[in-house]
Structure 1
Amino acid sequence: MEITALATLILVLLLSCNFIYSTWNKMYRWRNLPPGPTPLPIIGSLLHVKRGELVNSLNQLREKYGSIYTLYFGSRPVVVLTGYQMVKEALIDRGDDFSNRGRMPTIDRYFQGHGMILGNGERWKQLRRFTLLTLRNFGMGKRSIEERIQEEARFLIEELKSYKQSSINPTNILGQTASNVICSILFGSRYNYQDVNYLRLLNIFNEVFQLMSSTAGQFHDMIPEIMDHVPGPHQKMRILFEKLLEFVTERVKINQETFDPSNPRDFIDCFFIKSSQEKEDLTGAFSARSLPLSLIQIFVAGTETISSTLRHGLLIMLKYPEIEAKLHEEIDRVIGGNRSPSIEDRSKMPYTDAVIHEIQRFSDVLPLNLPHATVRDITFQGYTIPKGTDVYPILYCALHDPDYFATPNKFNPNHFLDENGSFKKEDAFIPFSTGKRVCAGEGLAKMELFLFFTTILQNFKLTTKMHLTEADISPNMTGFSNVPIPFELSFIPR
C-alpha cells in the first residue's frame, strides 16, 4: 500500500515537473524578445501587476526596462510599447507589421473574430472600408451627420432644462445623448430620454466597461485559462453580451421586414445592400452573423467613450470655473445665443478647441489602447517578435509624454495653444490610437464632442455643491477604461 502511494506521488511530481518545464520552455522559446520581468510558470508576470493598478504597473515597468519590454500573460508573451516615438514607429512607420488585432479573452469568446473592431485579415479590411465609406457618405443625400448631432444637442438642452436647475448626476443623460447619435446612424431612429427599457440597455454598456476594467476582468485577459473556470463578476459578461445581442438582433429583424434597397435608411440597410452584392464572399465579412456583432462593437465604441469624455469635461469645468468663463466668452463672441453651434465654428474658436483636446488627453478614456498583434515574424528595435504576438501600444504613455506635453499630469489647455493663442496640433495626441487601426469613428467623435460641449456651455453655467480636488478630476487609471468619479451638478440657464 505504501509502495503504491509512493509511486503515485512520484508520478504526480514527474508530471508536474514536465508540465512546468514545457510551460517554461514555451515562454523562452523566442530568446530575442525585448527584456522584462522574469515570468513564473502558469501565471506569467501576474505578480508584477498591482491589483487594480494595471496602467500604473505598466508605466512603472517602463522605468525599469525601457520603452519596449515583454510581459507574460500566463504563458503568452506580450510586447508593451510606451512613449509616443515607440508607438509611432510601430503603428505608423511599421503599420503593416502590427496591423492585426491582439487577443482580448474577456470578449473574444463572444465575438470570435467577427466585427470591424475585433476582426483580422481580409474580413477586417472589407468591413473597415465599408464602415468608413458608410459613415462618410451616410444619408445618400438626406440629412448630414452634423445635422443629426445638432438635433440631438437640442434634445439634450431641453432635457437639461426640464430639471429646473436641480442637482443631477449627468451619467445617464449623456449616455443617452451619445448613443442616440449612433442609433440614428445604425438604426435610423433615436430614443426618448424617458425610455426606461433603453436606459436599462445603456446601463449594460456601463457595466461591461466596469467589468472589463475590474481586477477580475484584467486577470481574465491575462490568464484566461485559469479565470475561465474561476467564479466571479467577470463571468457575468456572457449574460450582458446576450442582452446586447438580443437588442441588435431585434433591430435587424425590424429592418428586414421593411427593407427597400432603393431607399436605404441607415447602416443596417446599407449592410443588407452590400451583403447582396457580395454573395460570393468567402470571408464572412458581410454574413448574417457578422452584422449584429459589428453593430454591437460600433454601438459600444460610439456610446461609452463619448459619454465618458463629456462627463470628464463637465467635471473639469466645475473644478476650473475660470476656464469655463473663458469658454463662455469665446462662445458668445463667435456663436452668440441665437443659433446652434456648427462644426465650421471650430476653426474660429481656438481656446474651445484646445480645451476639448486637453479634456481628451487628460481624461485618457482608453489608456491601454486595444491590443495589436504582429502579422508576421518581424525584427523591431533589434528584437525578434514572432507572428501573432500580442502588442500593447500604451496610449497613456503617449498622451502623458513629457517630450510633447509640458505638464503631462496637469490639466492645461496651453498644451494645444501657441504663443499667439492659436490652436496648435501635437503629434502625440492620439486618443483614437493611430495607424492602420485608428478608430474609424474618429471624425464623428470629434464632431460630437465639439457640438455637444459648446452647446451645453452656450446654454448653461455649471455649478456644484461638491468641493472638488485635483485628485477628484484625475483619471483613475485602474484598467481598460477611465470613468470619472460619480458627481452631481446643476445646469443654470444663461
Structure 2
Amino acid sequence: MDLPADLTLLFAFVLLILIIHLSIKIFWTHRRLPPGPTPLPLLGNILHIEGGNIVKSLIEMRKKYGDVFTIYLGSRPVVIICGYNAVKEIYIDRADDFLARGDLATLDTSYHNYGIAFTSDMDRWKELRRFSLSTMRDFGLGKKSIEECILEESQCLVAELKKINASFLNPQQFFIKVAGSVIYYIMFGHRHGYEDDELLEVVSTISETFHLISSVWGQIFDMFPRIMKFIPGKHQQFLSNMQKLLQYVRTRVEKNRETLDPKNPRDYVDAFLIKMEKDKKYPHTEYHMTNLVNSTLQIFFAGVETTGSTLTYAFLIFMKHPDVLGKVCEEIDHIIGRDRSPKMQDRNQMPFTDAVIHEIQRFIDLIPMGMPRKTTRDIEYRGYYLPKDTNIYPMLTTVLKDPACFPYPNEFNPKNFLNEHGEFKKNDGYMPLAAGKRNCMGEALARMEIFIVVVTILQNFTLKPELPVEYLELKPDVSGIGNLPKPYKMAFIPR
C-alpha cells in the first residue's frame, strides 16, 4: 500500500534533519582535527576509497592534503600520518603521546582489548610486554639456542623440499610451517614434525585470516563493524577463524597446565601459568587466562605471518631479479660454502646478502598502513589539536618509499642499503613493522629466521619459476593492513 504523500514528505523531512544534525555534530566535534576529504554522515569517506584499495587511495589523498590529514572510516575519524619525519615523531620523538593501540575491528571483535598486542589499556600493555620480553629472552629469543632451533627447522625444510623432487609447488605452506614451528617452540616448548597436520592447519588458518583481514572485506568490516557482523560475506570466515584459533590456544594451554612443574617452566605458557598462580590473590592482576590465551595467539599470529609472508615474497623477488639472486649465491658460496650451515655471525661478512634482505623487507612493504595507534592524552601535533583516544595510522609505506631516505624508493634495488664501497649501510627509514617503544617484539627473531632460511635454501637449491620471468607479478594480491603476494608456483632444484 502506498504511503500518503504527506507522510512520505514528513519522513523525508525527518531524514534530512537527521543528516544535517549528524553532519553538524561531526564537523563541530572534530573541527580542530587536520583537514581531509569531506565525509558523508554515517558512511564517512567510503566513496573516496578507490575499488577497496585503501592504501592506494590514502597515498592519492596525501598529494592533496599533505602529510597529516583526516579521513572517516564510517563515522570514526582517523588521522593519517605520512613521510619519515612525521612518522618518526609518532614512533620515537613523541612516542608516549601515541603509544596506545588504535581501533582495528577485525581483531578487536575477537580480542576485546585483552592480550599484549591489541590492547589500548596502557597499564595492561606495559605489564604484559615487560613479562613477555623477559620470558621470551629466558626461552631463547636473541640467544644461540633459538638460532639452533631455526637451523634445525631450515634443515628439515631442505629435506622436505628434496622429497618433492623439483616439482612445481606453492612455497607459502612450507615457509609458514617453518615460522610456525619456531614460534611454537618458544610458546609451547616443543616442535612439530613436518608431517604434523595440526601445525599446518593452524598456520594455514592464520595465513587465511590475515589475507581476509587485509582484503576489501576486512576494510569494510573495519568501517562498519556493528552492521557487518550480521551481514553474510567472506568477513564471516575470519571471525570464525579467530574463534577457532583462540580455542586451539586454550586447548594447548590446558595441556601445559596438566603437566606443569612450577619449578621447571618449559616455555612462555608455563611461565605465564606460574605467574597466574602467584598473583591470583590480586583482584586486578593482568595474569589471568584471557590475557594468556590472547597474548599467546597474538605473538603466534605475528610470528607466523610476518616471517612466512616475507619469505614467500622473497623467493618471488629472487626469481624476478636473477642478477641479484646470482650475486647473493656467489657471496654465500664465498663466505659460507655449501658444506656447513649458516650462522648469524656470517651476516656481518655478507654485506650484499644483508642489503638484499633489508631491501626485500622495504620493498614488499608488509604492513603498509602500520598498526593503528591512539593518542594517550589531549595533544597539539603539527598545529592541530588531537584529543585523547584519536585514532592514528602511521603510514609505513610512505616511510619505506620516502625519497629523502632511499635513493631508489619505488624499485627493488639493494643499493638502498649499500654505500659506494659495497658495504652495508644502515638507513633510518628502515621501519618494516614499526619503530620505538611499541615495535614488534619478534622483529629480531624474524630477521634471524629470514637470513638463515634464505641462505640455507640457496645453499641447497636453484630456483625455477613456473612462469617466464616477465610474467612474475610483484604487485600484492591484497593491500590493506597487509600487502600479501599473489600465489605462485616454483621448483626447488637440488644443486
Measured against the shorter chain, the TM-score band is: over 0.9
1:434 is displaced (CA, Å) by 1.1
Structure 1 pair 191/380, CA: closer, same or farther in 2 (3 Å)? same
**Mean CA deviation greater in 231-240 or 271-280:** 271-280
- Give the TM-score of the pair, scaled to structure 2: 0.95
1:259 is paired with a residue whose SS is: coil
Equivalent residue number for residue 11 of structure 2: 12
- Deviation, 1:432, is 1.8
Helix, strand or coil: the match of 1:97?
Answer: helix
Does 2:73 align with 1:73? Answer: yes
For structure 2, the residue ranges without an aligned partner over 5 or more in a row are: none
Structure 1 runs, 4 residues or longer, greater than 6 Å off: 140-143
Give 2:25's aligned amino acid.
Answer: K
Bigger shift: residues 477-486 or 385-394: 477-486
Rounded Cα–Cα distance in structure 2 between residues aligned with 1:228 and 1:17: 27
Farther-moved stretch of structure 1 (112-121 vs 134-143): 134-143
User: Could you tell me which residue of structure 2 aligns to residue 433 of structure 1?
Assistant: 434
* TM-score normalised to structure 1 length: 0.95
Query: Which 5+ residue runs of structure 1 have no aligned equivalent?
Result: none
Question: Which whole-Å CA distance do the structure 2 matches of 1:483 and 1:288 have between them?
Answer: 32
Of 4-13 and 17-26, the range deviating more from structure 2? 4-13
CA distance in 2, matches of 1:64, 1:144: 51
> In terms of mean alpha carbon deviation, does 352-361 or 208-217 score higher?
208-217
Q: Which residue number corresponds to residue 192 of structure 1?
A: 193
Matched to 1:480, the amino acid is I
What residue number does 1:25 align with?
A: 24
Secondary structure in 2 matching 1:192: coil
Distance across 1 between alignment mates of 2:264 and 2:141: 9
Say if 1:362 and 1:475, in contact at 8 Å, map to a contact too: no
Task: Indicate how the Cα distance of structure 1 residues 141 and 27 shifts in structure 2: closer, same or farther if over 3 A, else same.
Answer: closer
Q: Once structures 1 and 2 are overlaid, which stretch shifts more, 37-46 or 133-142? A: 133-142
Opposite residue 36 of structure 1, the aligned amino acid is G
Q: Is the 8 A contact 2:116 2:291 kept in 1?
A: no
Residue matched to 2:157: 156
2:89 counterpart residue number = 89
Alpha-carbon distance in structure 1 between the residues aligned to 2:143 and 2:333: 31
Alpha-carbon distance in structure 1 between the residues aligned to 2:143 and 2:299? 22
Q: Which residue in 1 is equivalent to 2:414?
A: 413
Counterpart of 1:340 in structure 2 is 341
Structure 1 residue aligned with 2:216: 215
More displaced stretch, 177-186 vs 238-247: 238-247
Identity %: 45
Q: Tell me how far 1:18 sits from its aligned partner.
A: 4.1
Q: Secondary structure of 1:155's partner? A: helix
Give the corresponding residue for 1:119. Answer: 119
Amino acid at match of 2:23: W
User: How do 1:215-294 residues align onto structure 2 when only pairs under 5 Å count?
Assistant: 215-294=216-295
Structure 1 segment 442-457 matched on structure 2, within 5 A: 442-457=443-458
Give the superposed CA RMSD.
2.1
Structure 1 residue 33, shift from structure 2 partner: 0.9
Name the counterpart of 2:139: 138
Letter of the 2:90 counterpart: A
Q: Which residue of 2 aligns with 1:108?
A: 108
Q: Shift in Å at residue 338 of structure 1?
A: 2.0
Count, aligned residues:
493
Q: After TM superposition, give the deviation of residue 11 of structure 1 in Å.
A: 4.9
Work out the CA distance in 1 between the residues paired with 2:143 and 2:458.
Answer: 29
Separation in 1, partners of 2:142, 2:70: 50
Query: Can you list the C-alpha shifts for 1:371-394, whole angstroms capped at 9, x where unaligned?
Result: 001111110000011111110001
CA contact (8 A) 2:405 2:429 kept: yes
More deviation, 204-213/306-315: 204-213
Taking a change above 3 Å as real, the CA distance of residues 140 and 181 of structure 1, as seen in their structure-2 partners, is closer
- Tell me which moved more, 56-65 or 403-412: 403-412
**Who is 1:175 aligned against?**
176
Q: Do the aligned residues in 1 keep the contact of 2:214 with 2:478 (CA within 8 Å)?
A: no
Task: Kindly indicate whether residue 403 of structure 2 is the aligned counterpart of residue 402 of structure 1.
Answer: yes
